[in-house]
Amino acid sequence: MNNAVAGFSKLSKNEKINWIAQEFFSNPEEVQNIIRNYWNSDEKLQQLHDEFIENTITNLYIPLGVAPNFLINGNYKTIPMAIEESSVVAAASKSAKYWATRGGFKATVLDTEKIGQVHFTFKGDAEKLIAFFNEIKPKFFSETQSITKNMQQRGGGIRDIQLKDKRNLLENYFQLHATFETKDSMGANFINSCLEQFAFTLKEEALKSGFEIQVIMSILSNYVPNCIVRAEVSCPVEDLTEKHISNPEDFAQRFVQAVQIAEAEPFRAVTHNKGIMNGVDAVILATGNDFRAVEAGLHAYASRNGQYSSLSHAKIENGIFTFWLEIPLALGTVGGLTSLHPLVKLCLEMLEKPSAEELMQIVAVAGLAQNFAALRSLTTTGIQEGHMKMHLNNIMNQFEANEEERHLIKTHFKKTAVSHSAVVEFIENLRK
């Protein structure tokens, strides 16, 4: 079968759907009905969603939940989380409730520096290039005034521009390495506009001075090691006691050792950090931010010392248990989807319209809470108990179990290990 198509982007939405249904499915009518069932009944709202990306045919829903009772820097927050994975919202909520009675979460933004680079090659004398750069550096600022004016009025703008010699990495390779403050916007468009002007200025001035410079590209970096937020929880070891923690000293030691394993062992660190990202990504998605950029930056940060390692840390000192993380987060609360998507606007309002720095704190806390919940389960009851409850629910939904069947299934599997085959067999026997 030839599935190539010419001029697909020029087709109407209905024409796109018809082509897909006819080309790939044995029951085209059923496929078209499924696709259209996920349209929004409000035509204007559906059009808004259609225009977020290209070649749209429908919407793929991800559940939006909330995790209440987060005490952050003395104030309670209800955190919106958009995620498809079972147990995440429940685990975050459980951690929030646990720490609310033990002083809550403390969060601090350490810095908000963003980074962008102009990548270029130069074959001449590096000392002459340095002198040339120092001479024209003021022009990078003056010739971006029209771009930076509004940002400067909000307290942001270009922090600094440096010339970096990268010939140890690639032949003739240099950079303009620029740092920015973008306040409540994530700042991608602002930074990239500045960088393109830097590149134009560099080429123009090089031409005047007889320098043979070739600009390769100008682009922001999603690695922001100086845009850092810290979140932590702490309490006396004896206060860790709860239903599954009868020996708090033993629990604290096991917990710290579990974190140390993630610090030392990359295979464990990846899964450990994935748990942190369950919390981080869910809030980022709910607030209209770019979780792919944050993921890339966080994993680079986890490797900054030459080996992939845990993003969170724990210690026991003078009888006090402390658990914390410091992570890079470049977020925005203005611009992009934050002002377009109705549910994103609702989520930001639920968070009491936070600044970018406040959102950084909330996101970091969600990541720490998720990590605490996972490690508490791993070092006490194990994670499968909670996961398998949700797995059981998913299987019952898959087989459209009625209320009576659900009651019998849940009762049976209170004392029997849950597996897909065991549940299916039990359902089939019930229905015989």
Q: How many domains does the chain have?
A: 4
> Pick from 221, 252, 268: which residue ends a domain?
221
Report if residue 55 sits inside a domain.
no
**pLDDT at residue 388 in the model:** 64
The answer on pLDDT for 350 being more than 80 is yes
Considering the domain architecture, whether residues 153 and 207 belong to the same structural domain is answered as: yes
* CB-based contact 68:85 (threshold 8 Å): no
274 and 131, same structural domain? Answer: no
Q: Which residue would you say has higher pLDDT here, 386 or 244?
A: 244
What positions carry a catalytic annotation? 85, 274, 290, 387
* pLDDT classification of 428: cutoffs 50, 70, 90: confident
- In DSSP notation, 243-309 reads TTBS-HHHHHHHHHHHHHHHHH-HHHHHHHHHHHHHHHHHHHHHTT--HHHHHHHHHHHHTTTSS--
Helix (H, G, I), strand (E, B), or coil: what is residue 416?
A: coil
Q: Which amino acid is at 131?
A: A
Q: Are 252 and 303 in the same domain?
A: yes
Q: Give the pLDDT confidence score for residue 220 in this predicted structure.
A: 98
Residue 155: give its domain's CATH number.
Answer: 3.30.70.420
Q: Is residue 249 part of a domain?
A: yes
Higher-pLDDT residue of 384 and 241 is 241
In a domain, 60, yes or no: no
Same domain for 79 and 189: no
* pLDDT confidence of residue 382: 62
pLDDT at 190 over 70: yes
Q: CA-to-CA distance for 227 and 235, rounded, in angstroms?
A: 27
> Taking a C-beta distance cutoff of 8 angstroms, is the pair 244, 380 a contact?
yes
Whether 369 maps to a domain, the answer reads yes
CA angle 278, 279, 284 (to 5 degrees): 100
Confidence of residue 1 (pLDDT cuts 50, 70, 90): low
Token pair belonging to 183: 């306040």
Residues 207 and 234 placed together within one structural domain of the fold: no
| Residue 59 belongs to a domain | no
Question: What is the extent of the structural domain holding 35?
Answer: 8-50
Within this chain, do residues 122 and 33 fall inside the same structural domain, yes or no?
Answer: no
Question: Using an 8 Å Cβ cutoff, are 298 and 311 in contact?
Answer: yes
For residues 257 and 233, membership in a common domain is answered with yes
The answer as to whether 245 is a domain residue is yes
Are both 130 and 38 inside the same structural domain? no
Q: What are phi and psi of 2, to 5 degrees?
A: -95, 110
- Answer yes or no: is 3 within a domain: no
Q: Is residue 144 packed enough to be buried (19+ CB in 10 Å), middle (13-18) or exposed (0-12)?
A: buried
Confidence of residue 398 (pLDDT cuts 50, 70, 90): confident
Residue found under tokens 């307290």:
155
Q: What would the two tokens of residue 322 be? A: 């402390």
* Res. 252 pLDDT band, cuts 50 70 90: very high
Residues 122 and 94 in one domain: no
pLDDT tens, 99-111?
Answer: 999 999 999 999 9
Residue 159 CA to residue 156 CA, distance in Å, equals 8
Residues 77 and 179 in one domain: no
Q: Are residues 392 and 374 in the same domain?
A: no
Residues 237 and 375 in one domain: yes
User: Which of 341, 356, 382 is a domain's end point?
Assistant: 382
Distances (CA, A) of 336 to 55, 116, 184, 346, 361: 19, 19, 12, 15, 20
pLDDT band at 412 (very low <50, low <70, confident <90, very high): confident
Q: Is the pTM of this model over 0.95?
A: no
Q: Could you report the per-residue pLDDT of 370-391, keeping only the tens digit for each? A: 999 999 999 987 655 555 666 7
- In terms of DSSP H, where are the helices of 5-42? 13-24, 28-37
Q: Report if residue 400 sits inside a domain.
A: yes
